[in-house]
Chain A
Amino acid sequence: MTSQLAERPAALTGGRAPARARRLTRHRAVMLLFIAPALIVYVLMVIAPSIQSIQLSLTDWDGINPAYEYVGFANYQDILSSDRFWNATKNTLILGLGSAVIVNAIALGVALLLDKLHHAQGFFRTIVYLPALVSGFIAATIWKYMLNFNFGAVNTILRDLGFGDAAMDWLGDNEIVVGVLLFIICFTLGGNTTLIYLANLQSVPQDLVEAAKIDGASRGQVFRYVTWPMLAGAVTVNMTLMMIAGWTIFDQVMVLTAGGPGFVSETMAFFIYKVGFGEYRAGYGSAAAIVLFIVVMATTVLANKYMRSREVQA
């Protein structure tokens, strides 16, 4: 692409070399102007604060007092030796990876069902998307009340049906609370994820499927050897997007449990918010944020590498 671009203006001008170079420089300068507004906002809002975060993570800043001192890697030492942080990391992995896998499975299932429809597919595609319009925050807020131990709808139904023993303190029982969070996060039909799978399913060449069927392949075999490999790219995209979202799960935790009871359901994102803003430890919070960044980057790169290699083999 690069060489192409370099040659084209030359072909257009057909002039001498210096004019061509001047033209090229001017072209690039104009393009840079096009990029500039977005680049400035992006650097100011994303890159600069991220770098500043690294700096703050080496200080004992409380977030209020303008005076602070550099403490080296003390914050990182504290974090890595803190059970609380490791518990938050564990929850983040459970919720992030768990929701990525489960939501993708649901979305793929729904997309496969939709793909089977030859009538009213548009209508069903629309209603399947509807639940995705409800934000995680709103859904969690409603669930919080439905799951209330003493007055909530869920336990009331269970008790009325005679399953009083099954009524649980869904958001207060430390043994199940992370599972309940995972359930609520995954209580969806996928929305965008489903649409991406559906679009990819519909681009699977029908000839291939027909050919496989003629060769006597069962439905399962068609899926395993024809459809699934064709979806590999979509799986990579969807898993990556869901994992990035999963690592930073905050809304549901904030609304449903606020990290409790005790510390048991804190996630990394919640932990950073809590120590940075609630406990006056901006330096410490920044260090945790940097650790989160490393986790996100490492898992995204590794997962992509793994999934891309799968794509090639398939």
Chain B
Amino acid sequence: MSGMEIFVLWLEAFITLAIFSFLYKDNSVYHLVESVFAGLSAGYYVGLYWKSIILQQLWEPMTRADNPKWWLFIPGIFGLMMFTRLWPKYSWISRIALAFVMGSTAGIFLITQLHGLVLPQMQKTMLSLINSDGLEASFLAVIVVIGVISTLIYFYFSKEHKGFVGVTAKLGIWFIMISFGAHFGYTVMGRVSLLIGRVQFLIEDWIGSF
């Protein structure tokens, strides 16, 4: 292992332990590391966006000798207009660029969400209850249909949740709770995995290098 690699390893271990130190007590080492992270991230983003957007996607295509895309100056100006938000008197100019962004984003998302998410998911919910794949598939299809209908009824507020509607809405709550439980379980697993990753680094990589 080179001197630089050892330095990076120890620095990484120090930063990890400094962040964990907050669990015992708020302290200045934790705040120092937190500030370093915030500053580094901001600097990294500025550098990356300058290179990947301003230079690669705007300046270079616009100024190249072979087939220059001169019309890119229009989105370039739109980008500059966003900075007028810094001066309250002229901030209205930024709304023109913002309106363009909102319009185009809404247009793209409407199609993709509808075509790619809503319709296929709806289609796969309209299941045949008597399934040719066997009893288990039929049983699951019944659960999906009951789950979807009862959950939707829970979110139907134009009729009081009493009688049949009330019972169905209550069933919907059960489906929602089971879904929350699954999400919570997976969330715990995810957070634990992150801790395991750090402990793995400390034990196997850092202490293992001694």
- Tell whether A and B belong to one assembly: no
